Amino acid sequence: MILYGRNLSPFTRRVAIWCALQGRDIERRELMVAGPDFEEIKANNPVARVPILVLDDGTRLIESFAICDYLDETAPNGTRLVPERGAARLACLQRLAVGQSTAEKAVAMVYERNRRPEELHWRDWQARVAGQIQGGLAELDRAAPGPEANRGWSGEDGPDGGDIAAIIAYQFVETTNPWLLEPGYPRLAALVERGMEIEAIAATKPAA
Ligand SMILES: N[C@@H](CCC(=O)N[C@@H](CS)C(=O)NCC(=O)O)C(=O)O
């Protein structure tokens, strides 16, 4: 399988971590949407976004939720990252959704603040987006497993999909707009620290 996109994309990174935790061997094409790779990405996804996962039979999958769902459905025994059914599935998917939407707003902030020319900055909008990101981080902090539960993870033996999405959202904000972490999110920060002991997570941390 071939994964298009860079680890700086929180959605691409989630797919990369998912594959690594499931012991899947994938090829990476670390292309940038905002740059010269746009046409190559568009040839593989009509809306020109990453991640894209190309399966061995040539099928192209887009949207990280759909891709990770496919990876779970075809997961080697015991390596699903979202429970298959019931209340545990719903709870995990909801933590994953908060992580995903926090990351989406953090990406929006990068376009607003880090890419848009200074004279076109709209402060009220930035403040609104900052409040959304911090709302998401506060919820991820509240829902983060403490060190006492299952050795500090929501999954039985390690991180589940919700833990992974939370770690990715925090580290994306830390890399792109660290000032948003100023209120302090101690449970989430501790989860991130535990995550960095796992190779799949540490090896995909985007550079500042
Ligand atoms: N909901 C999508 C979001 C994908 C997404 O927004 N990817 C960004 C990179 S972080 C992208 O390709 N942006 C280019 C664009 O929207 O023009 C997913 O979860 O896969």
* pLDDT (tens digit per residue) in 58-83: 999 999 999 999 999 999 988 999 99
CATH code, domain carrying 172 = 1.20.1050.10
Confidence of residue 6 (pLDDT cuts 50, 70, 90): very high
Atom 19 in ligand 1: residue holding the nearest Cα: 64
Query: Domain range for residue 20?
Result: 2-73
CATH code, domain carrying 9 = 3.40.30.10
> Is 78 domain-assigned?
no
The residue whose CB lies within 8 Å of the most ligand 1 atoms, and thus the one to mutate among 11, 12, 114, 173, is 11
Rg of the chain over CA atoms, in angstroms? 17
Atom 11 in ligand 1: residue holding the nearest Cα: 49
Cα-based angle 175, 125, 162 (whole degrees, multiple of 5):
45
Cα 153 to ligand 1 centre (Å):
28
Cα 46 to ligand 1 centre (Å):
12
pTM for this entry: 0.97
Of the chain, the percentage scoring pLDDT greater than 90 comes to: 91
pLDDT of 156 higher than 80:
yes
Cα 47 to ligand 1 centre (Å):
9
- How many domains is the chain partitioned into structurally? 2
If one counts every other C-beta atom within 10 angstroms of the C-beta of residue 183, the result is 9
pLDDT of 208 higher than 80:
no
Atom 12 in ligand 1: residue holding the nearest Cα: 49
Top pLDDT among 89 and 150 is at: 89
Both tokens assigned to 7: 């680890």
> Is 49 domain-assigned?
yes
Both tokens assigned to 115: 């890419």
Residues 103 and 66 placed together within one structural domain of the fold: no
How far apart are alpha carbons 160 and 83 in whole angstroms? 9
The residue whose CB lies within 8 Å of the most ligand 1 atoms, and thus the one to mutate among 49, 53, 96, 114, is 49
Cα 202 to ligand 1 centre (Å):
22
